[in-house]
Amino acid sequence: GIQVEQSPPDLILQEGANSTLRCNFSDSVNNLQWFHQNPWGQLINLFYIPSGTKQNGRLSATTVATERYSLLYISSSQTTDSGVYFCAVETGIYSGAGSYQLTFGKGTKLSVIP
């Protein structure tokens, strides 16, 4: 199956700093999503981004599908950004009633300190 590797595994930032999280995947994908899991375990969808660039406030993401990687940018980090960031991909061929399986990376644990 497809392999999803995220880097770095751990990241400690001073509040206000910027960061880039990376997600590499081993095969072509038709779906890529970034999630944030807060320290209480809640999972929030950040971006659906199989290709191109999107921005939402201080967060932005870029996926270069031909080179099989995606980047998540966090600018002016805040303590509320702490948690684990997951990249997840799907490779299934859309058939209307076919399978849907997201494969998750192991995540990047971000700690933002005041």
Closest to 81 in 3D by CA, of 21, 7, 22, 4: 21
Which of residues 57 and 96 has its CB atom nearest to other proteins in the complex?
96
- Give strand pairing partners of 53: 62
Residues that bind other proteins (CB under 8 A): 1, 4, 30-31, 33, 35, 41-45, 48, 50, 86, 88, 90, 92, 94, 96-107
> Which run of H or of E encompasses 70?
strand 69-74
* Shortest Cβ 114–other proteins spacing (Å): 25
Whose Cβ is closer to other proteins: residue 40's or residue 114's? 40
Q: In the complex, what is the shortest distance from the CB of residue 90 to other proteins, in angstroms, rounded to a whole number? A: 5
Measured between alpha carbons, how far is 74 from 52 in angstroms, rounded to an integer? 17
